[in-house]
Amino acid sequence: MILFRPSVVLSCLILCVGLNAHAGTLDDLERDATKPKSKSSGSSSSSSGSYSSSSGSYSSGPDDDNSLQADLAAGIAQLMFRITAEVVGFGLTAMAQGGEDSVQRYARSELLDSNDRDVSNGVMPVASGLDAADNVAGFGPSLFRKQGDPILPNVRVTSQWLSGSDNISAQLNRFEGGYGLLGFSYSRNTLDEQGDELTLENTLVHYRMSFGNNVSWDLAYGRGKMNGNQSHNGDVFAMPIRYRINPDWHFEYYPVWSSYNGGSLSEHSFSFNYHYKYMGLSVGHKRWSAGPTTVSGLFTGLYLVF
């Protein structure tokens, strides 16, 4: 006959409850990022008419016979369609021009201004308060790219270290490569919560757009992998934007949206970057969010660019 000591049983119960109660923030982030979104199944109801049981007849509502409101709604819909078409057309044209400008930037490594002076600081000359995308000395659009430009890199290797909420630390390693309007990237984020790790790996293809020499905007799409308590694969879309403030400083906003098993995970990173020749220092803020769970914190980083 096996005897169970009450103290042993109680200790086991307390241990089990404690393990469940102390599921970490990274566990919650993984769970919420892979949880399919619930579909609302609201009941449909009709407000256009009513049935009178006493008379046994159907009386139409005011919307059914109001042709003026119907015509107005149709007119608004047509106007919205035209506006949407114009916006989409303008957006596609701007995207095509942005890709072409990235190609043009690679065609020239330096620029002579109208007085045949070398523009070597990597920043466009400014005329009348505008980013000079004007013609210079008959050479066409004044676009150029210096070697080691962090806005539109050939190769950029980045490492960042984050100290976040809930005693979570994180390290990012990212490799970027590209030429002209096409590029690719591989990144690996490793989040650690007192020994509990969650890794996020993304492999993306980039369409790189330039707007002058001081602004770049990428549209990137690819595949991602999340490794935590389980392994998950999904689609990833990113939209990094970089803006050169002056020859030494640029701002970067790097949003990433991932979809795993019908759930979603978003990452938003803002940073200011000091650049010197082929390397730079970064300081910024990063936030991961999935459902009600968030992880955020400040980070510092280093990068090499060619």
Domains of the chain by start residue, with CATH: 155-305 (2.40.160.40)
| 177: confidence class by pLDDT, cuts 50, 70, 90 | very high
| Residue 185, CA atoms < 13 Å, CB-side half-sphere | 30
Sign of the CA dihedral running 149, 211, 158, 176:
negative
Place of tokens 């579909």: 39
Per-residue pLDDT at 45 exceeds 60: no
Maximum mean pLDDT: which of 4-13, 59-68, 273-282: 273-282
| 72: confidence class by pLDDT, cuts 50, 70, 90 | confident
| pTM of the predicted model as reported, rounded to 2 decimal places | 0.76
Per-residue pLDDT at 125 exceeds 80: no
How far apart (Å, rounded) are the C-alpha atoms in residues 113 and 121? 13
| 153: confidence class by pLDDT, cuts 50, 70, 90 | very high
Weakest mean pLDDT among 133-142, 158-167, 236-245: 133-142
Output phi, psi for 133, to 5 deg. Answer: -105, 25
Place of tokens 């010197």: 276
Count CB neighbours of 209 within 10 A.
22
